[in-house]
Amino acid sequence: MGLPLETRAQSAGSGGTLVMGSTQVPRHFNGAVQSGIATAMPSTQIFASPLRYDDNWNPQPYLAKSWEVAPDGLSVTLKLVDNALFHDGKPVTSEDVAFSIMTIKANHPFKTMLAAVDSVETPDPQTAVIKLAHPHPALLLAMSPALMPILPKHVYGDGQDVKTHPANLKPVGSGPYKLAEYKQGEYYTLEKFDKFFIPGRPKLDKIVVRLISDPNALMVSAERGEVHAVPYVTGVRDIERLQKSPNITMTDKGFAGLGALNWLAFNTKKKPLDDVRVRQAIAYAANRDFIVSKLMGGKALPATGPIAPGSPLEEKAVETYKLDIAKATKLLDEAGLKPDGNGTRATLTIDYIPGNDEQQRNIAEYLRSALKRIGINLEVRAAPDFPTWAQRVANFDFDLTMDTVFNWGDPVIGVDRTYLTSNIRKGIIWSNTQQYSNPKVDEILGKAAQETSPEKRKALYSEFQKIVVSDVPIYFINAAPYYNAFAKGLSALPTTIWGVASPLDEIYWATPPKT
């Protein structure tokens, strides 16, 4: 492929190259208009953001050296560092911050993330004042690297559509690394930005990301030391395999912000699934404990509600739907689903996302046998590719489906979209495709989105979680078992809540890798 594979570090603690391997091919590098980890990994190296977060969910200075939320919660004032430059040498100013925030508001798929922003005032080059229609406690988290890259106005403000702007493939940011080369589908190379505004960073000279579509080939490359890091390892067998490698360190730290949940979703408008008793019966028969301990090999945490384990807002005191066949059959009897001569009460179809057998197909196949015990004949429907599955689910052409959806840190950003009645939007995947509607839930989420008291906000989300778990538009199964694999010898590994979807300016070679 003609790929540069420089691996000799200049000296311990500085210089050298980190070679990463990934199956995730980015469409482009602009995280302002594109969600997902394929874009977030490079975007967070190329672009800086107002804030970054530590591993305890605390905001830390980045482009903003300080920030202040007004007492009424209707504005946030950012004071920018005065030495930040874009990769083309132009200074980063409040005009760039204002332009970026309004661009993200207009173009990012997470519509609720900045919905409360009315405008951004720029009283001087180092001050940006974000004006809000109502208090928006999710705003600080939304200033994270993966969600709020600051774009250069002098590049993107030329009138071209930002979603298709040529700079998306040749980006100019102010982050620790600049894009040096991109060979589509093969690799991209990030080089150290010598004028990065944080002294002494980044530690590395270069990051090369090899794009390897075959997961097994990626595992072999890691074992051989041809790649030094593999982020987002989710396959149970792959995790176990790399854990046995003597030259690799595995960590499950660095994913709390993503909050990836694997679940079974119901089309709540289709009979008989429009009856909550039927959905509850399926939950009591599904046996989460077996799925997590056996199918997941104990590598995944069980998930019991819409807010992921690890979030400070998670409510653990919810109905867990422990296996109870007697209760399940009683609920189906009460719902009027009587068994026929063959013992069948209903025939339903289950879909799943193709390409991730352990989290999707295998669980769908298991549920087919599990639900047979309560008289539900479950037919597994395969999709030839992701777009086919997404089109079916987005257009409500399903009974049940497996799915994996991210929390993205704050419920306003990644949770609300699944449950708000106003987000039942036909044709849009990862909206409220369950067509779930509960006015009480809408009311609670509306209040929680504006509540500035952490205690009151947590109480509102606790109530929300209990209602949703009881209504069962979704049966929650597990937190996706993500791990990062790093070569031994690397130090200051990215284990904050955003992990590799944040700047890798601190990571360095304590022990140079062998060539």
Q: Answer yes or no: do 420 and 338 share one domain.
A: yes
Could you write out the DSSP letters of every residue in 420-489? -GGG--TT-TTSSTT----HHHHHHHHHHTT---HHHHHHHHHHHHHHHHHH-SEEEEEE---EEEEEBT
Q: Which tokens in the block code for residue 17?
A: 């190259």
Q: Which tokens in the block code for residue 351?
A: 């879909």
Q: Answer yes or no: do 248 and 364 share one domain.
A: no
Give burial (CB, 10 Å; 0-12/13-18/19+) of 245: middle
CATH number of the domain that residue 459 is part of: 3.10.105.10
Taking the C-alpha atoms of residue 324 and residue 373, their distance in angstroms, rounded to an integer, is: 11
Q: Is residue 41 in some structural domain?
A: no
Per-residue pLDDT of the chain (515 residues; tens, 9 = 90+): 333 333 333 344 679 999 999 988 888 999 999 888 889 999 999 999 999 999 999 999 999 999 999 999 999 999 999 999 999 999 999 999 999 999 999 999 888 999 999 999 999 999 999 999 999 999 999 999 999 999 999 999 999 999 999 999 999 999 999 999 999 889 999 999 999 999 999 999 999 999 998 889 999 999 999 999 999 998 889 999 999 999 999 999 999 999 999 999 999 999 999 999 999 999 999 999 999 999 998 889 999 999 999 899 999 999 999 999 999 999 999 999 999 999 999 999 999 999 888 889 999 999 999 999 999 999 999 999 888 999 999 999 999 999 999 999 999 999 999 999 999 999 989 999 999 999 999 999 999 999 999 999 999 999 999 999 999 999 999 999 999 999 999 999 999 999 999 999 999 999 888 75
Taking the C-alpha atoms of residue 21 and residue 212, their distance in angstroms, rounded to an integer, is: 7
Taking the C-alpha atoms of residue 146 and residue 138, their distance in angstroms, rounded to an integer, is: 14
> Which residues partner with 127 through β-bridges?
79, 124
Q: Answer yes or no: do 61 and 161 share one domain.
A: yes
Q: Answer yes or no: do 397 and 249 share one domain.
A: no
Q: Answer yes or no: do 164 and 305 share one domain.
A: no
Q: Answer yes or no: do 286 and 427 share one domain.
A: yes
Residues 6 or more apart whose CB falls under 8 angstroms from that of 101 comprise 114, 117, 120, 128, 130, 148
Helix H, strand E, coil C: the string for 116-181 is CEEEEEEEECCEEEEEECCCCCCHHHHCCCCCCCCCCHHHHCCCCCCCCCHHHCCCCCCCCEEEEE
Taking the C-alpha atoms of residue 311 and residue 56, their distance in angstroms, rounded to an integer, is: 10
Q: Answer yes or no: do 211 and 324 share one domain.
A: no
Q: Is residue 1 in some structural domain?
A: no
Q: How many domains does the chain have?
A: 3
Q: Answer yes or no: do 413 and 514 share one domain.
A: no
Q: Do 457 and 451 contact (CB within 8 A), yes or no? A: yes
Q: Is residue 302 in some structural domain?
A: yes
Q: How many H helices and E strands in the chain?
A: 15, 20
Q: Answer yes or no: do 226 and 109 share one domain.
A: no
Return the pLDDT at 13.
63
Work out the number of other CB atoms within 10 angstroms of the CB of residue 2: 6
Q: Which tokens in the block code for residue 478?
A: 């597990």
Which candidate, 42, 7, 44, 6, places its Cα nearest to that of 24?
42
Q: Is residue 267 in some structural domain?
A: yes
User: Torsions phi, psi of 366, nearest 5?
Assistant: -65, -45
Taking the C-alpha atoms of residue 132 and residue 154, their distance in angstroms, rounded to an integer, is: 25
Hunting for tokens 């430059």 — which residue is that? 85
DSSP 361: I
DSSP 59: E
Q: Answer yes or no: do 321 and 460 share one domain.
A: yes
Q: Which tokens in the block code for residue 369?
A: 């046998």
CATH number of the domain that residue 226 is part of: 3.40.190.10
Q: Which of 170, 192, 213 is the last residue of a domain?
A: 170
pTM above 0.85, yes or no: yes
Q: Is residue 76 in some structural domain?
A: yes
Domain range spanning residue 195?
Answer: 8-23+176-257+482-515
Rounded to the nearest 10°, the torsion over CA 248, 249, 250, 252 is -160
Rounded to the nearest 10°, the torsion over CA 421, 422, 428, 429 is -40
Would you report the helix, strand and coil content of the chain in percent, each value rounded to 5? 30, 20, 50
Q: Answer yes or no: do 323 and 412 share one domain.
A: yes
Q: Answer yes or no: do 407 and 432 share one domain.
A: yes
Strands 75-80 and 64-69: antiparallel
Which candidate, 119, 115, 202, places its Cα nearest to that of 416?
115
